[in-house]
Amino acid sequence: MAVADIMTRKVVSIGMDDTLEDVKHIFDNTQFHHLLVIQSGNLVGVISDRDLFKAISPNLGTAAETWKDLATLSKKVHQVMTRKLVVIRENAPIFDAVEMINQHRVSCLPVVDERGKVAGILSWRDILRELEHARRIK
């Protein structure tokens, strides 16, 4: 089975100069956990919900919230995103993806086509969903 068979084709992207408030809004209103960072049509980074939680104040939305806490939402995506990308080709076997996720300790892999353009994204959730599906059809 190839990565293309189970990857998520619908990706959500964001720009490097967008704010963490924009990222938080997307994560709060969708079921996505990773955003691809695109600049001039090229993939330049990834930001995950975990990256966001590490970068913003834990006091947001609480009685202890201050203006400094709110200011953490003004940080830019490029200040927080992962730049060292680990990508996989859409025709790669799933077990290559599992190996890469474990080896590089990442939670998703941007998937690229033969031209190097984004074709989708593969997360550990996609892999687990496929395993569950395979178990059910046995």
Q: Residue 63 belongs to a domain with what CATH number? A: 3.10.580.10
Q: For the chain, first and last CA: distance in Å?
A: 16
Prediction pTM value = 0.87
Ranges of residues in the chain whose predicted pLDDT is under 50: none
pLDDT of 134: 77
pLDDT of 138: 65
Total domain count for the chain?
1
Average pLDDT, the chain: 92
Which pLDDT tens digit goes with each residue over 82-103? Answer: 999 999 999 999 999 999 999 9
- Beta bridge mates, 118: 112
Main-chain dihedrals φ then ψ at residue 119, nearest 5 degrees: -110, -20
pLDDT of 70: 87
User: What domain range includes position 101?
Assistant: 3-137
Nearest-angstrom CA–CA distance, 84 and 8: 21
Q: Where are the alpha helices (DSSP H) in 17-123?
A: 20-29, 49-55, 67-71, 94-104
